[in-house]
Structure 1
Amino acid sequence: MQFALLGDIHSSKEDLQAVLAQIANEAPEATLIGTGDLYECTVSKKDLHGQIYPTVEEVIRHPDGIDELFIFPSIYGNQEQRILLLTKQTEPKRDFLNDLPETLKIDEAIIIHGHQWPHNEAAAWLAEHLPESRVVFHGHTHRSGITSDGKHIAINWNEEMSVRGSRTVVNVGAVVGSREWVLYDSEEQTVRFMKVSQR
């Protein structure tokens, strides 16, 4: 089965539309799954002082029509976490964000955002917290990448790369700015790093 993994959208409607169009063209049968940071929180981490805002709309960038593009399940990222910290009232958008899980599992793979571990400590954190997961997909850093048994492997864009037989950690990159995503074939045990060309 094929899965199109995309994340770090940060409310960028134009970039998301471009990625969704490429997925529809390259892998129309793929199941889409988000890796978090769907929306951009407009209050930075350093400006968190316990304040509570009356509505979610006051703390997110929210272009018209973006909600209709979120047609896929997703996990939460640090942006969603911050939005929830800044709001407490019951409203549909907050309920939607609050219901996003921390992880999703597809066959032998697990999807997590990546803000859970300290910078450059993914391998140690994953070994401790998710030791049973042979393939891990994440985002957060906005940098596509792949490691196999702790060793970095050069990315070959739009070419199949095997994830069979090793502990593989895949950073799917970012939709915002870079228009990157990953196609995962769980039966063939391959990934393809994809990127929409920008003119």
Structure 2
Amino acid sequence: MKYALIGDIHSSVDDLKAVLSHIQNVDPSLVIVGTGDIYECIIGKKRAKKEKFNKLTEVTIEPEKLDPYLTFPTVYGNQEERIVAIYTGNHSIIDQIKTLPSKIIIQNATITHGHEWQWDGDPFTPKFPIEEGKLVFFGHSHTSKFYRNGVCIPFEFNQKIHINSEHTAVNIGSVIDHREWVLYDSEDKTIEFKKPAL
């Protein structure tokens, strides 16, 4: 099966539309799955610790404009966690967010956001839990990266990378600002980092 993995949209409708259009041009049969941070929480961490809000527009950017494009399954990210934690009203979008899983398992791979891991250093690098499996797709840092056994390996966009038996972690990059995504072919055991031409 072939998948298009996208994430870190952060409420950017224009960037999401560009990525979805690119995915359609590459292969309209791709199954799209999200890695979280679909919405942007406009309340910072410090304020979120001491304030609550009862209007959805006080905590995120025009969710109704984004919602029609969210036709694919996704995990939740730290943005969704914060929105749910500080919003006290009732809204169908919040009800949807509350049902999102922390992980989605697809053929031979795990999808998660990655914010629950420990991140250290410069560049900002996660420590990959072994229990996530041999092949993990994630987001969070908005930086496309390819790791084998925890070591970052250089790659080029639009070039197939073969997945072997080593532990492999793939940061799919971000839709917002970069319009990046990853094509995963579970049968050929390959991935490709993708983004539309400027």
> Take 2:22 and 2:145, find their aligned partners in 1: how far apart are those partners?
20
1:61 CA displacement: 0.7
- AA of the residue aligned to 1:58: E
Question: Residues 159 and 193 of structure 1 are in contact (CA less than 8 Å); yes or no, is this contact kept in structure 2?
Answer: yes
Q: Give structure 2 stretches of 5+ with no counterpart.
A: none
Q: 1:38 maps to what in 2?
A: 38
Normalising by the residue count of structure 2, what TM-score does the alignment of the two structures yield?
0.93
> Take 1:43 and 1:175, find their aligned partners in 2: how far apart are those partners?
21
C-alpha deviations, 1:45-103, integer Å up to 9, x for none?
A: 12223322113232001165321111100000000000011013332111011111100
1:195 CA displacement: 1.1
Matching of residue 100 in structure 1 with residue 103 in structure 2? no
> Take 1:49 and 1:171, find their aligned partners in 2: how far apart are those partners?
29
Aligned pairs for 1:172-191 (under 5 A) are: 172-191=172-191
Equivalent pairs counted in the alignment come to 194
Q: 1:49 maps to what in 2?
A: 49
C-alpha deviations, 1:127-164, integer Å up to 9, x for none?
A: 2xx25x11000000000000112221111100110112
- AA of the residue aligned to 1:188: D
Q: 2:135 maps to what in 1?
A: 135
Question: Residues 76 and 100 of structure 2 are in contact (CA less than 8 Å); yes or no, is this contact kept in structure 1?
Answer: yes
Q: Secondary structure at the match of 2:20?
A: helix
> Take 2:100 and 2:46, find their aligned partners in 1: how far apart are those partners?
24
Q: 1:122 maps to what in 2?
A: 126
Q: 1:74 maps to what in 2?
A: 74
Question: Residues 56 and 93 of structure 1 are in contact (CA less than 8 Å); yes or no, is this contact kept in structure 2?
Answer: no
Question: Residues 9 and 175 of structure 1 are in contact (CA less than 8 Å); yes or no, is this contact kept in structure 2?
Answer: yes
> Take 1:163 and 1:74, find their aligned partners in 2: how far apart are those partners?
23
Matching of residue 167 in structure 1 with residue 171 in structure 2? no
- AA of the residue aligned to 2:189: Q
> Take 2:18 and 2:140, find their aligned partners in 1: how far apart are those partners?
20
Q: Give structure 1 stretches of 5+ with no counterpart.
A: none
1:171 CA displacement: 0.1
RMSD between superposed Cα atoms in Å: 1.4
More displaced stretch, 108-117 vs 45-54: 45-54
Matching of residue 192 in structure 1 with residue 192 in structure 2? yes
> Take 2:46 and 2:112, find their aligned partners in 1: how far apart are those partners?
24
- AA of the residue aligned to 1:111: I
1:165 CA displacement: 1.6
| TM-aligned CA distance change 1:183 to 1:14, over 3 Å | same
Q: Secondary structure at the match of 2:8?
A: coil
Question: Residues 39 and 62 of structure 1 are in contact (CA less than 8 Å); yes or no, is this contact kept in structure 2?
Answer: no
More displaced stretch, 87-96 vs 5-14: 87-96
Question: Residues 6 and 35 of structure 1 are in contact (CA less than 8 Å); yes or no, is this contact kept in structure 2?
Answer: yes
Q: Secondary structure at the match of 2:137?
A: strand
> Take 1:183 and 1:142, find their aligned partners in 2: how far apart are those partners?
17
1:23 CA displacement: 0.2
Normalising by the residue count of structure 1, what TM-score does the alignment of the two structures yield?
0.92
1:177 CA displacement: 0.2
